[in-house]
Amino acid sequence: MLCSEYRQPGTPRAAEQRVGLMVPSSNTGIETEFVRSLPRDITIHSARLPLFVSVEPKAIELMSQDIENASRLLATAAVDLLFVGATVPSLLKGVGHDKQMIARIRELTGIRATTTSTAVIDSLTELGVRKLVLGTPFVEPMNVPIVAFLEASGFQVIAAKGLGYGDNVEIGRLPAESAYELARELHHPDSEAFLFACTNWRILPAIERIEAEFGRPVVTSNQASLRGVLCALGRPAHLPGCGRLLDCILRHR
């Protein structure tokens, strides 16, 4: 979706905009990259979704059952946007699941909503990508629904590989360099882009190196989520320095 489609021209914007962010309880990645990257007048207010075991499809399905309650709680903070900041929960049941989740959240709260998987599809579409390679920090069973969702959404996944991590705390501690090393393994001449999926994988600083070396755009879950937030809030999707999608700079505060 183009950013201009989210808000009609001339619509007034409040001085401060609040994002109600839902994250897996063991996720330490997306909040960090959001706070470092978003303009200061966009504030982040988080709710944690229970993830007590390894990152696997069954655990994600159970965690997702708390999304409606978390949405209701965040709505009491008068947030301007509700954002499901995890890649797999909104795609686990196949294509269209993210849109159903968005509609349900809006029905419950009356607040605009979107998800990471929605933002990823919008970002790939914005870049004109159809063929891609997929990298994740996950064990293989977690990659299966991601590939299925992408292919059902019209993309060709030429290759996919995970780093084999099931412990989400360990994923949150991986260096950005881990994405670069995986990109070296996944690079394929027919691929039009790299997609790195996982909001707990803090790899924004690796994007420009990968793009420069391999000549392909990079989309990450958090980078796409940043774009999704900015678009949904009616803001320009431009943050200079971390890749073609956003041209954004990571600001340490």
Tell me, yes or no, whether 86 and 143 share the same domain.
no
Q: Is the separation of the CB atoms in 155 and 131 below 8 Å?
A: yes
Q: How many domains does the chain have?
A: 2
Indicate whether 246 belongs to any domain.
Answer: no
Tell me, yes or no, whether 139 and 198 share the same domain.
yes
pLDDT at 248 over 50: no
- Using alpha carbons, select from 121, 64, 112 the residue that is nearest to residue 88: 64
How far apart CA 8 and CA 11 sit, in angstroms, is 6
Tell me, yes or no, whether 103 and 226 share the same domain.
yes
SS3 133: strand
Tell me, yes or no, whether 142 and 185 share the same domain.
yes
- Give the CA angle between residues 141, 221, 182 to the nearest 5°: 65
Longest dimension (CA), the chain: 49
Tell me, yes or no, whether 111 and 132 share the same domain.
no
Strand pairing class (42-49; 193-196): unpaired
pTM of the model: 0.89
Indicate whether 240 belongs to any domain.
Answer: no
Tell me, yes or no, whether 87 and 151 share the same domain.
no
Indicate whether 154 belongs to any domain.
Answer: yes
Taking all residues of the chain, what is their mean pLDDT, rounded to a whole number? 89
Q: Is the separation of the CB atoms in 62 and 53 below 8 Å?
A: no
Tell me, yes or no, whether 76 and 110 share the same domain.
yes
Using DSSP, how many helices (H) and how many strands (E) does the chain show?
A: 10, 8
Indicate whether 6 belongs to any domain.
Answer: no
Specify the CATH number for the domain of residue 109: 3.40.50.12500
- Token pair, residue 81, equals 């946007």
> Span 7-29, mean pLDDT?
78
Specify the CATH number for the domain of residue 175: 3.40.50.1860
> Span 36-62, mean pLDDT?
84
Tell me, yes or no, whether 44 and 74 share the same domain.
yes
SS3 96: coil
pLDDT in tens, 118-155: 999 999 999 999 999 999 999 998 899 999 999 999 99
Tell me, yes or no, whether 103 and 69 share the same domain.
yes
Tell me, yes or no, whether 83 and 196 share the same domain.
no
Tell me, yes or no, whether 78 and 25 share the same domain.
yes
- Token pair, residue 10, equals 């001339």
Indicate whether 238 belongs to any domain.
Answer: no
pLDDT in tens, 67-85: 999 999 999 999 999 999 9
| Residue-range definition of the domain harbouring residue 215 | 120-220
